[in-house]
Amino acid sequence: MPPDSKMGDFAFPCFRLSKALRMGPPMIAQKLCEAIDKPALCRAENVNGYLNFFLNRENFARDTLQKVMAAPEKWGSSEEGKGKTVVMDYSSINIAKRFHIGHLSTTLIGNSLRRIYDFLGWKTVSVNHLGDWGTQFGKMICAYKRWGTREEVEAGGVDEMTRLYVRFHEEAKAHPELEDEGRAWFKKIEDGDVEALEIFNWFKEVTLKDAMKVYDVLGVQFDSYAGESFYNNKMDRVINELRDKNLLVESDGAQVVDLEPWKMPPCLIVKRDGATLYATRDIAAALYRKDTYHFDKCLYIVAYQQDLHFRQWFKVVELMGYPWAKDQLEHVAFGMVSYEGQTLSTREGRVIYLNDLLQRAQEKALEIINQKNPNLENKEEVARQVGVGAVVYSDLQNSRIKDIDFWWDRALNFDGETGPYVQYTHARCGSVLRKAGDIEATPDYTALLDDEAQAVLRLLARFPEDVRAACRTNEPFMVTRAVTEIAKAYNKYYYEHRILEGEPEAQAARVQLTRAVRSVIKTGLYLIGMEAPERM
Ligand code: ARG
C-alpha cells in the first residue's frame, strides 16, 4: 500500500521481475498495465516501473461492506488451521509466589494467541505449566509445620506462605539443621508421603485460588494445569531414552548432554544428587504433549531471559531423533516490563502484584468516567472493561520483543493510541447507530467515494490479512495495530463527514460503514483480550 493514496490504493513494484524477465521495470509495468483490463475493479497506471492500482471506489465500497456484513463477527476468521493443533504454554506461574507483573506479558500474549488461533480454525490446547516442583516446597512445609497454622494460610494465602518461607531462611541462619529438615520434607513429597503431598497440594490450591481471581478479571482460561510435578513419573523415560541414544555424558557427577558443537553450554539433565531439572521436565513435557495432543506446533510464551534454556533443550529433543523439535517447537519470547521508569525487583521490594495493578486500573478508569460521563449507567462494569483494557492494550501494543515501560497516564489517555481510545471509538459507532435507528433505504455507495471513507474501507478489507500475519508471527500487536488504525481512520471520517445528513440512501451507506467498523473493532479487541463496552 503506497503511503500516499494519490499514488494508488495498491502498488506493485516491477523491479523484482526484471531479472527473470530480462526486461526493464517500466517495460514490465507497461505490459502488465495493458493486460489488466478490469474497469469494474480498478484502473492501473504505469509510473516509473511501478504498477499503481486505483480501485473503482464505488465497487470497492460495496464489495467490502457486503463481505464484512455477510457475517460481521466472523470477518477475518478462517478455516486455514482446520485439522491442526497448537499447544500453547503460557502464564505458567510458580506455586507459593504471588502473581506479579513479571507474569503479565506471558499471560496476555498467550491469551491473545489462543483467541487468534481459534479464530483461524486451529484446535488450541492452552497449558499453564505450573512451577510446582523444587526443594523450596520442602522448606515451606517445614516452616509451615513449625510456625504456621491452617487458618493463617487459608486467610493470608500466598502472602502467608511467603512469610513462612522468609522465616525459614532467617531461622536457618542460626539453625542450619533446618535445611536438612527441609530436604527431608522434599524427599517425602517425592516419595509420595501422604501428609507431605496433602500439604503441598493444598499450597497449590491456595495459590491457584489467588491466581484465578486475576484470570477471571482478564478472561484467561486454560485447558490444562499440568505443571512441572506432573512429570515426576515421566522422568525415567527421558533419562533412559537419552542414555540408550548415547547422549548422556557425565560431568562432575552430573548427567548432561554435550552441546559444544552448537556453541552452547551443556544441558543439565540429572544433578549429582539424582534430582532432575527444569530442562529435564520440559523435555518430558514436550514428549508427553506430542503423544497426547499430536500438535503441529507447540509454543512457549516465556520471557526472553530464558532464550538459552529453550535453545538448549530444543536441541536435545532434536538429537533424540525427533525432527519436529526443529520446526514445531517455538519459543515465543518477549521483553521486560518496567513500571513508570523503574525495573521491577523482588529483592528491593519493588514488585507490582497483578491484582493490585488491575484494581488500580479500574479505580483510575472510574475516576475518568466520573469526570467525562458521570451519568453513565453501570459505571463500575465499564470501569472494569476500560481499566483492564488499558493494561492489556499497553502490553500488546508493540512487537513483543520490545521492553515495555508502563505509565498510568499513557495507558489511560482517551486521546492517544490507547485501549480506551479504541474502546471509545467503538462506543462512538454505537451511538451513531442508535441515533440512526432503522434505515430502510438501499445503500448508495457513491456516498463513500471520499478519501476518508476509502481509507477506512481499505483497513477493513485488509483486517483478515492482519489477523493471519499476527498468527504467522505470533505477534498480537499486529491486531492491536489494525484496530487502532481503523479507529483512527474512522474518527477522521467522523470529524470530516456528516453521517446522518442528505439522501437516505447515502445515509444508509455511511451507517453501514459505521456498523462494519464497530463490528471489526469489537472482533479485534476480543482477539487481543479486551472487551468493548457499548457506551462509555
Ligand atoms: N514457571 C516458569 C517461570 O515462571 C515458566 C515456565 C515456562 N514454561 C515452560 N515450559 N518452561 O519462569
Stretch 489-512: mean pLDDT: 97
Chain mean pLDDT for the chain? 94
Instruction: Give pLDDT, residue 279.
Output: 96
Closest CA relative to residue 279, chosen from 223, 186, 287: 287
Considering only 191-195, 429-433, 474-478, 510-514, which range has the smallest mean pLDDT? 191-195
Condensed to tens digits (0 to 9), the pLDDT of residues 189-224 reads 888 899 999 999 999 999 999 899 999 999 999 999
> Side by side, which strands form the sheet with 85-89?
123-127, 85-89, 297-303, 329-334
Residue 37 has pLDDT above 80, yes or no: no
Condensed to tens digits (0 to 9), the pLDDT of residues 242-257 reads 999 999 999 999 999 9
User: Pairing mode, if any, of strands 123-127 and 85-89?
Assistant: parallel
Instruction: Give pLDDT, residue 305.
Output: 94
* Helix H or strand E encompassing 504: helix 504-528
Question: What is the spatial distance between Cα 417 and Cα 410, in angstroms, rounded to a whole number?
Answer: 9
For 42, 167, 497, 506, the CA distances from 451, given in Å and listed in that order, are 16, 67, 11, 16
Closest CA relative to residue 532, chosen from 389, 398, 436, 359: 389
Instruction: Give pLDDT, residue 100.
Output: 84
3-state secondary structure of 348: coil
Question: What is the spatial distance between Cα 477 and Cα 395, in angstroms, rounded to a whole number?
Answer: 9
pLDDT grade, residue 378 (50/70/90)? very high
User: Pairing mode, if any, of strands 50-55 and 123-127?
Assistant: unpaired
The amino acid present at 534, given as its one-letter code, is E
103 is catalytic: yes
Instruction: Give pLDDT, residue 3.
Output: 84
Q: Considering the candidates 6, 67, 103, 309, report the single residue annotated as catalytic.
A: 103
Q: What angle (nearest 5°) sits at the alpha carbon of residue 266, between those of residues 264 and 270? A: 155
> Side by side, which strands form the sheet with 267-270?
248-251, 254-257, 267-270
- Using left for φ > 0, alpha for ψ between -120 and 50, and beta otherwise, residue 359 falls in alpha
Pocket of ligand 1 from Cβ distances under 6 Å: 89, 92, 94, 129, 131, 282, 300, 302
Residue 348 has pLDDT above 70, yes or no: no
Structural domains of the chain, with CATH: 5-55 (3.30.1360.70), 134-220 (no CATH)
302 CA to middle of ligand 1, Å? 7
pLDDT grade, residue 339 (50/70/90)? confident
In DSSP terms, which residues pair with 123 in a beta bridge? 85
Ligand 1 site-directed mutation target among 107, 137, 306, most atoms within 8 Å of CB = 306
pLDDT grade, residue 140 (50/70/90)? very high
131 CA to middle of ligand 1, Å? 7
Q: How many CB atoms are located within 10 Å of the residue 239 CB?
A: 17
pLDDT grade, residue 293 (50/70/90)? very high
Residue 347 has pLDDT above 70, yes or no: no
* φ, ψ at 350 (rounded to 5°): -90, 75
Query: Are 307 and 64 spatial neighbours (Cβ–Cβ below 8 Å)?
Result: no
Which ligand 1 atom is nearest residue 130's CA? 1
Instruction: Give pLDDT, residue 304.
Output: 96
Query: Distance from CA of residue 31 to its chain's centroid?
Result: 45
Which residues, other chains included, contact 416 with Cβ-Cβ below 8 Å and sequence gap of 6+? 410
Q: Which residue's alpha carbon is at the smallest distance from atom 5 of ligand 1?
A: 92
pLDDT grade, residue 332 (50/70/90)? very high
Stretch 160-169: mean pLDDT: 91
Question: What is the spatial distance between Cα 5 and Cα 10, in angstroms, rounded to a whole number?
Answer: 8
Stretch 301-309: mean pLDDT: 97
97 is catalytic: yes
Grid cell 509451615 in the structure block, residue = 144
**Which set of grid coordinates corresponds to residue 279?**
530442562
pLDDT grade, residue 188 (50/70/90)? very high
Eight-state DSSP code of residue 9 = S
485 CA to middle of ligand 1, Å? 34
Considering only 228-237, 240-249, 343-352, 425-434, which range has the smallest mean pLDDT? 343-352
191 CA to middle of ligand 1, Å? 24
